[in-house]
Structure 1
Amino acid sequence: MTGYLHFNTVERMDAFLSGLRMRVTPVVHDPRIVIVDIDEASLVEVGRWPWNRDVVARLVNQMTGRYGVAAIGFDVVFSEPDNTSGYGVLQGLARGQLKDVPGFGAQVAGLRERLDYDGLLAKAIEGKPVVLGYTVSAKLSKGVLPKPAFDLDFLNGRALDARDSAGYEANTERLANAAAGAGIFSANTDPDGILRSADMVTRIGDKFYPSLSLATVAVALGARAVKPYLDKSVDDMSERERGYGGYEAFQIHYGEKRVKLFAVGENLSALIEFRGRGGPGGGAFSYVPAADVLSGKADPDVLAGAIVLVGTTAPGINDLRATPVNPEYPGVEVHANLIASILDNSFKRRPDYALGIEVGQLVAAGLVLSVALALLPPLASIALTLAAGAAVMALNYALYARLDWVLNEAAIVLLVAGLFILNMAWGYLFETRQKNALVSRFGEYVAPELVAEMADDPEQYNMDGESRELTVLFVDVRGFTTISEGLSPKALREYINLYLTAMSSDIRDSHGGTLDKYIGDAVMAFWGAPVAFPDHASRAVASALLMQKSAARLNDDFLARGLPQLKIGIGLNTGMMHVGDMGSAVRRAYTVMGDAVNLGSRLEGITKVYGVGLAVGEATRAAAPEYAYRELDLVRVKGKNEPVAIYEPLLPAAEAGPELLAELARWASALALVRSQRWDAAAAALAGLAAASPGSGLYRLYLERVAHLRAHPPGADWDGVTTFETK
């Protein structure tokens, strides 16, 4: 987000990531551009640099004649005349000390063509697609500038924010006039010393001159002109547009109607896409030793029709640049990359709306990670952070590779890393607080003393789902619909609050039960989780018996206050259940599920059928044998095929007196008579029990059942099971 957030660290990281994108981009060889390399081997074979210009002339003649290249760009400036041939010395002798030697002057004059190295080079490049290079300078002006691409008059009042140079070091007049063109190869590095962009056009005085890469492409295409793309007249432009310094594109006019456009950015510069790793082994461009071209040993298939750049990779000649992909990158290959981008019209660029995209990524990543990291465990947080960082980099790389967009991503990567570190620090510094919060949440379900026990070892307790043997309880108020219709809202609230408070206390505080939920007037609870009790069934039975006593006490109080009678039914069952934090994304609760839970609910519903306040399954009776039970029936509840025996817990077995034990024995005998279809004996036994206990609805129910079965015999295959078709 350069230009808005000037943080050196962020900018350096953006630069690193930008280079990383180039380094991971697969290298694709481009045969259109070849580098004729004045390498170390060529210096050994031909001689030290700079070479005499007759050698350079032979090099040009070989490339244009023998090898048929499309264009030649020299990453070299010839700013001084070449006097290495000694011809000037000979001329001086002919005019001075040796002027009287017969024929000497004529012989010297005859050597002029062979020893005028500048003339040889000028002759070699004249009429050939050769582009000379030159540099700009802030202080001196030397040599002859080429013809400019355009001047201020062409802009007709428009602003063009090209980099301005006061001076230059150009080629000699003879060579400049002979060449097809010339281009600037000066480099503008970033403050960190890395070369990332290059000016495509530079202003000198009132005129504008192309870079070496742009001039070479223009010559290779036989271009008529290189001009900025002006799609509006000055009159049609807003004041802001008139003063805007960066045109989006340049156009190269070549052929009869063809125009090639390529994008530019600030200061008419272009981002350099480094397509290889640099040098002869970099992979993007072919390197041919200059000595091989001179000797004719170069491969014609490599050079034929190619755009050739003449430069050097030899150590000591000092034409190496620090770039994002290589700290010692040949300067000549920089121009090759720019030429490839111009030919492909594929410049990496920072779009005008880049800041909006970057801010959008920041906001999206920040929102998602802020929420997700706070909810996920450490390993999942690490995975999400790595995935988010990879996704951001992958997205930006896709935009870079497919749309040529260069977006800054350091701020986003730092945000992702920062949120992760902050989340981990929060978890580390406030781990105890989080554990206590978990235990406190269980405090909604279990008694305070159990919460204290859980706080001693909070890692042992969680709300993850598991299967465990538990005992579940359901309690409901008989006739609550009628009760609610007969009370005012205020009285109903007081009625239900007193009832629920008493039931909750008997469950949670007295015997360590876990309150599951309130369902209107019904209460659901279970024992054995989150704190595991081996005697969960006994605790549940004890709580149920206490709840009946509490209901009787409340009933007396309600009746005394003129409130409706309170009667409850309780169902208990023991078995394997799924327990844990269950629900939806909207709401969750620590609860139990399973067939054993469903049976407990059915038992609560059928207590009214048998005229009892409490019914338990046979698994509960087996798990809590310390209580006295009265068997109620063999039943097949809705949703289950197998019959189960159900019982009514009465009191602790140790408290059962002789009379109760005798009654239970008589009842067991009567129940056996019913199941054996001995109707007369069963009716007599049941009548005796009903007379002794006139308030028992169970005995009256069986008397009615025996009368019905006597009148409608069930058959010899009757199993004695009562089937319930409703819940």
Structure 2
Amino acid sequence: MTRVQQIGVVIGLAIVALLTILRADDPGIFKLIRGVTFDEYQRLVPRTFEPMPVRVVDIDETSLREFGQWPWPRDRMALLVDRLSAMGASAIAFDILFAEPDRLSPRNVVAEVEGVDPSLAEKLPDNDEIFARAIAEKPVVLGFGLSNVGNYRPPVKAGFAFTGESPVSAPPYLGASTPLRPQLEANAAGLGHISLNPGNPSPVVRAVPLFLTDGEQLYPNLAIEALRVAQGASTYVLSGAPDRAGIMTSAKIGDFVVPLTAAGELWLYVSPDRAERYISARQVLAAEGASPEVAAAINGSIVFVGTSAAGLQDIRVTALGENVPGVSLHAQAVEQILSGHFLSRPDWADGLEILTIAVLGSLLVVVTTFVSPAVALICGLLITAMALVASWSSFLYAGLLFDPLAPIVSGSIIHFAATSFKILVIDRERRAVRRAFGHYLSPSLLHRIEHTRDPLRLGGDDRELTVMFVDVRNFTEISERLAPTDVVAFLNTLLDALSRHVVANEGTLDKFIGDSIMAFWNAPVDVADHETKAVRAALAMRETLAELNAGDAFGFGPGQQVGIGIGIHTGLACVGNMGAKTRFNYSAVGDAVNVAARLESCCKEVGFDILISDSTARSARGMALLEAGAIPLKGKSSRTQILAVVGDERVAASAEFSALVVTHQQLMQALLAHSKNTRKLIGTAKLRAAGVIDGLAEFYQRVSGRTDHFREANDRFEKSAAD
């Protein structure tokens, strides 16, 4: 692992730690996003509405038009209780507060008239007493609300039994409640709170607290109190954690067991609002009595009495996004319990999500650091898909609520941060690479180097290279007759024009040594057919120099020609960054470099501008080559077979070159045999060479003086053929 990768991992893990801590703190925005996610799940697959013995008697707009504005006198509420009881309601629960005396009661109306004898008022009916007598001995549950004033708490009509540690401190806290009328409170079969989401700022009701606590006593809500009364049960059996107080896990209400959150809440799994759930209060209170259909719907049902009238402002929002009367959510809670279709968010869900962020985040950091951004993106998408599938499957098949967005959002942040860091570092490294190699390499090679993993470092590797040396002929004479500034201008013009062909043929410019160029192929990255590309670069240099001379680009005047010599050899060399740790050059050293330099020096002796070794020639197939003998090179124990590069494949395929090759071979044989025809063959070769390329005349002029070169070359050739 490189230092940069180590830094990337450390930064990535620090971000993972911060996100993990943030999720553990669970700020409000996380809760909101989590709630919205669970809402979307319910919208995709809502609870199916099933006919249940649960009904809402709705004090709707029609009822208000029929019987007058709200509040109604309580003798009418008494009539409602009597009618519902007569029709066989198993429980009657009022989502209505009866905290104040009935101002429409005759006794209260007369008492407020000035000059009326108080004893007369006492003889008149009291609607609260009528309502109290109506609910006595009937399965009626009254609701109470929460209050910020006083310390009144209602009596509890049921007992509590616990398994495990005490969960009394688990539910939301009840500081005080609104007092009910004493006679109503005493005669009710049950009392339950009507708050659906106390302390929750969200308008969406997602979970309903089934209990409240004052630290010592638990208080049930309206829905489960109605369910208890309907079954005739007297006790709630609550389960707590086996080893930790203050946690609820479930509640047994008669024959039904309800899974709860740690705070004693029921996650509402709602069905779409349906007309079948409601019965208008007008139908129950009709003078002619309720219809058989209404009576059948009420019989055996748990009936909740509430209002959907807009002016009474008891409208709530469900997870499905519907605006419904608050009383219908109490009814839906009971429907859900009766159907057994529950949603559950286990108390260990938060821990699992926190652990997921830590583990998957750390995995993403490692993956993003060590693989390409594309692979890291694929891994991130797979993790996202896995989180979504796991969360959705848990909801669909087990009713479990796991938040997929926390790990997804955290993973996205981690992936973005790690990828951004990596890209910034890569860009920095690529800029360093461009600075180091931009003047020496072709754009294609530079692109390949940028995408390798090997960092720039001091040291080298053994590689097969094709090495080229280029030198200006008679440079000393040229520099003697020019001013220093003119020498620099001359070299800049020449070397710039020649070096471009190295880069264009995927070579690496090593250095400029005075009037010389050193270049090589097949490093720092592999270059296919590097021998041929080096030869093509040399041929292109020859053509460029001819154009420069023809155009008098150096300003030397007509007839003043500049010549070059090029030596090319292929062999093993050590290539890499050489120098000091703070300043180094990318270069090559070794025998292959020395041989190439010696070949360039031999151009003067041989009388030709481009010479290559036989090791290069073996791979540069198809080029127009002529044997130039075996030359003894300085520092080498044996001679080196060399060849003159006449031209490319087009020249090699020409009839003129084919004829020259025949004459060249005859000349070689004549030289070896000391034949009298040598001079004649040299003349013929010059003539035929003139039709191929300028410059071979000097080569053949010097052939006769190098008989030993060709004899050595022929001996090596024959020995190789015999082997």
Q: Does residue 175 of structure 1 match 2:184? A: yes
Task: Please say if residues 369 and 416 of structure 1, whose CA atoms lie closer than 8 Å, have aligned partners that are also in contact.
Answer: yes
Which of residues 199, 207, 211 in structure 2 aligns to 1:201?
211
Q: Residue 570 of structure 1 aligns with which residue?
A: none
Identical amino acids, percent of aligned pairs: 21
Task: Please say if residues 39 and 312 of structure 1, whose CA atoms lie closer than 8 Å, have aligned partners that are also in contact.
Answer: yes
Instruction: Identify if the C-alpha distance between structure 1 residues 657 and 150 changes in structure 2 by more than 3 Å, giving closer, same or farther.
Output: closer
Query: Following superposition of structure 1 onto structure 2, how do residues 185-200 of structure 1 map, counting pairs within 5 Å?
Result: 185-190=194-199, 192-194=201-203, 196-200=206-210
Q: Residue 137 of structure 1 aligns with which residue?
A: 147
Task: Please say if residues 75 and 311 of structure 1, whose CA atoms lie closer than 8 Å, have aligned partners that are also in contact.
Answer: yes
Which of residues 511, 514, 519 in structure 1 aligns to 2:522?
514
Instruction: Find the aligned partners of 1:346 and 1:407 in 2 and give their Cα distance.
Output: 17
Q: Does residue 21 of structure 1 match 2:38? A: yes
Q: Residue 560 of structure 1 aligns with which residue?
A: none
Task: Please say if residues 160 and 245 of structure 1, whose CA atoms lie closer than 8 Å, have aligned partners that are also in contact.
Answer: yes
Task: Please say if residues 150 and 209 of structure 1, whose CA atoms lie closer than 8 Å, have aligned partners that are also in contact.
Answer: no
Q: Does residue 361 of structure 1 match 2:361? A: no
Q: Residue 257 of structure 2 aligns with which residue?
A: 261
Task: Please say if residues 36 and 289 of structure 1, whose CA atoms lie closer than 8 Å, have aligned partners that are also in contact.
Answer: yes
Q: Residue 328 of structure 2 aligns with which residue?
A: 333
Greater mean deviation of Cα atoms: 56-65 or 1-10: 1-10
Instruction: Identify if the C-alpha distance between structure 1 residues 426 and 63 changes in structure 2 by more than 3 Å, giving closer, same or farther.
Output: same
Instruction: Find the aligned partners of 1:344 and 1:323 in 2 and give their Cα distance.
Output: 19
Instruction: Find the aligned partners of 1:499 and 1:320 in 2 and give their Cα distance.
Output: 79
Deviations for 1:435-489, whole angstroms, at most 9, x for unmatched residues?
436769xx8xxx87543x439x96698769xxxxxxxxxxxxxxxxxxxxxxxxx
Q: Residue 558 of structure 2 aligns with which residue?
A: none
Query: Following superposition of structure 1 onto structure 2, how do residues 649-668 of structure 1 map, counting pairs within 5 Å?
Result: 650-653=643-646, 660-662=664-666
Which of residues 63, 69, 90 in structure 2 aligns to 1:48?
69
Task: Please say if residues 14 and 410 of structure 1, whose CA atoms lie closer than 8 Å, have aligned partners that are also in contact.
Answer: no
Local SS of the residue matching 1:653: strand
Q: Does residue 160 of structure 1 match 2:151? A: no
Deviations for 1:292-326, whole angstroms, at most 9, x for unmatched residues?
44344666676554433222222221223466665
Instruction: Identify if the C-alpha distance between structure 1 residues 613 and 2 changes in structure 2 by more than 3 Å, giving closer, same or farther.
Output: closer
Q: CA deviation at 1:182?
A: 2.1
Instruction: Identify if the C-alpha distance between structure 1 residues 98 and 231 changes in structure 2 by more than 3 Å, giving closer, same or farther.
Output: closer
Q: State the one-letter code of the partner of 2:189.
A: A
The alignment's TM-score, normalised by the length of structure 1, stands at: 0.57
Instruction: Identify if the C-alpha distance between structure 1 residues 652 and 23 changes in structure 2 by more than 3 Å, giving closer, same or farther.
Output: closer
Instruction: Identify if the C-alpha distance between structure 1 residues 372 and 35 changes in structure 2 by more than 3 Å, giving closer, same or farther.
Output: farther
Q: State the one-letter code of the partner of 2:621.
A: R
Q: CA deviation at 1:330?
A: 3.3
Q: Residue 237 of structure 2 aligns with which residue?
A: 227
Q: Residue 253 of structure 2 aligns with which residue?
A: 252
Q: State the one-letter code of the partner of 1:261.
A: V
Instruction: Find the aligned partners of 1:628 and 1:301 in 2 and give their Cα distance.
Output: 116
Q: CA deviation at 1:535?
A: 3.3
Q: CA deviation at 1:412?
A: 2.8
Which of residues 415, 439, 462 in structure 1 aligns to 2:410?
415
Query: Following superposition of structure 1 onto structure 2, how do residues 378-397 of structure 1 map, counting pairs within 5 Å?
Result: 385=380, 388-397=383-392
Greater mean deviation of Cα atoms: 126-135 or 431-440: 431-440
Instruction: Find the aligned partners of 2:233 and 2:341 in 1 and give their Cα distance.
Output: 19
Q: Residue 312 of structure 2 aligns with which residue?
A: 317
Instruction: Find the aligned partners of 1:272 and 1:355 in 2 and give their Cα distance.
Output: 16
Local SS of the residue matching 1:229: strand
Which of residues 273, 289, 295 in structure 1 aligns to 2:280?
289
Q: Residue 544 of structure 2 aligns with which residue?
A: none
Q: Residue 621 of structure 1 aligns with which residue?
A: 621
Q: CA deviation at 1:339?
A: 2.5
Q: Residue 526 of structure 1 aligns with which residue?
A: 528
Q: Residue 95 of structure 2 aligns with which residue?
A: 75
Local SS of the residue matching 1:19: helix
Instruction: Find the aligned partners of 1:274 and 1:356 in 2 and give their Cα distance.
Output: 23
Local SS of the residue matching 2:69: coil
Task: Please say if residues 22 and 275 of structure 1, whose CA atoms lie closer than 8 Å, have aligned partners that are also in contact.
Answer: no
Instruction: Find the aligned partners of 1:614 and 1:87 in 2 and give their Cα distance.
Output: 123
Instruction: Identify if the C-alpha distance between structure 1 residues 99 and 366 changes in structure 2 by more than 3 Å, giving closer, same or farther.
Output: closer
Local SS of the residue matching 1:417: helix
Task: Please say if residues 165 and 241 of structure 2, whose CA atoms lie closer than 8 Å, have aligned partners that are also in contact.
Answer: no
Instruction: Find the aligned partners of 1:425 and 1:413 in 2 and give their Cα distance.
Output: 18
Instruction: Find the aligned partners of 1:330 and 1:694 in 2 and give their Cα distance.
Output: 107
Q: Residue 636 of structure 1 aligns with which residue?
A: none
Q: State the one-letter code of the partner of 1:454.
A: P
Question: Unpaired segments of 5 or more residues in structure 1?
Answer: 255-259, 465-496, 518-523, 552-565, 568-611, 631-647, 668-690, 705-727
Q: Residue 696 of structure 1 aligns with which residue?
A: 715
Task: Please say if residues 19 and 410 of structure 2, whose CA atoms lie closer than 8 Å, have aligned partners that are also in contact.
Answer: no
Query: Following superposition of structure 1 onto structure 2, how do residues 468-479 of structure 1 map, counting pairs within 5 Å?
Result: none
Q: Residue 302 of structure 2 aligns with which residue?
A: 307
Instruction: Find the aligned partners of 1:549 and 1:368 in 2 and give their Cα distance.
Output: 43
Q: CA deviation at 1:212?
A: 0.9
Instruction: Find the aligned partners of 1:499 and 1:22 in 2 and give their Cα distance.
Output: 62
Q: CA deviation at 1:345?
A: 5.7
Task: Please say if residues 229 and 250 of structure 1, whose CA atoms lie closer than 8 Å, have aligned partners that are also in contact.
Answer: yes
Task: Please say if residues 628 and 651 of structure 1, whose CA atoms lie closer than 8 Å, have aligned partners that are also in contact.
Answer: yes
Task: Please say if residues 31 and 302 of structure 1, whose CA atoms lie closer than 8 Å, have aligned partners that are also in contact.
Answer: no
Which of residues 95, 104, 118 in structure 2 aligns to 1:84?
104
**RMSD over equivalenced CA pairs, Å:** 5.7
Instruction: Find the aligned partners of 1:502 and 1:125 in 2 and give their Cα distance.
Output: 104
Q: CA deviation at 1:214?
A: 1.4
Greater mean deviation of Cα atoms: 497-506 or 295-304: 497-506
Instruction: Find the aligned partners of 1:4 and 1:546 in 2 and give their Cα distance.
Output: 64
Q: Residue 454 of structure 1 aligns with which residue?
A: 443
Task: Please say if residues 527 and 536 of structure 1, whose CA atoms lie closer than 8 Å, have aligned partners that are also in contact.
Answer: no
Deviations for 1:50-73, whole angstroms, at most 9, x for unmatched residues?
22233333433444444x444332
Instruction: Find the aligned partners of 2:667 and 2:460 in 1 and give their Cα distance.
Output: 35
Q: Does residue 59 of structure 1 match 2:80? A: yes
Question: Unpaired segments of 5 or more residues in structure 2?
Answer: 1-17, 453-458, 469-506, 511-517, 541-564, 575-590, 593-613, 630-640, 648-656, 672-709
Deviations for 1:187-231, whole angstroms, at most 9, x for unmatched residues?
453463555544323346964332111111112333242132379
Deviations for 1:235-267, whole angstroms, at most 9, x for unmatched residues?
xx7xxx4xx22242322245xxxxx3333344x
Task: Please say if residues 159 and 234 of structure 2, whose CA atoms lie closer than 8 Å, have aligned partners that are also in contact.
Answer: no
Instruction: Identify if the C-alpha distance between structure 1 residues 215 and 664 changes in structure 2 by more than 3 Å, giving closer, same or farther.
Output: farther
Q: CA deviation at 1:75?
A: 0.8
Q: State the one-letter code of the partner of 1:45.
A: E
Task: Please say if residues 69 and 304 of structure 1, whose CA atoms lie closer than 8 Å, have aligned partners that are also in contact.
Answer: yes
Q: CA deviation at 1:336?
A: 3.0
Instruction: Find the aligned partners of 1:499 and 1:430 in 2 and give their Cα distance.
Output: 25
Task: Please say if residues 146 and 176 of structure 1, whose CA atoms lie closer than 8 Å, have aligned partners that are also in contact.
Answer: no
Instruction: Identify if the C-alpha distance between structure 1 residues 616 and 166 changes in structure 2 by more than 3 Å, giving closer, same or farther.
Output: closer
Instruction: Find the aligned partners of 2:646 and 2:165 in 1 and give their Cα distance.
Output: 110
Q: CA deviation at 1:505?
A: 5.0
Task: Please say if residues 516 and 526 of structure 1, whose CA atoms lie closer than 8 Å, have aligned partners that are also in contact.
Answer: no
Instruction: Identify if the C-alpha distance between structure 1 residues 31 and 449 changes in structure 2 by more than 3 Å, giving closer, same or farther.
Output: same
Instruction: Find the aligned partners of 2:354 and 2:310 in 1 and give their Cα distance.
Output: 45
Tell me the number of residue pairs that the alignment of Structure 1 and Structure 2 aligns: 528
Task: Please say if residues 214 and 342 of structure 1, whose CA atoms lie closer than 8 Å, have aligned partners that are also in contact.
Answer: no
Local SS of the residue matching 1:23: helix
Local SS of the residue matching 2:621: helix
Q: CA deviation at 1:369?
A: 2.9
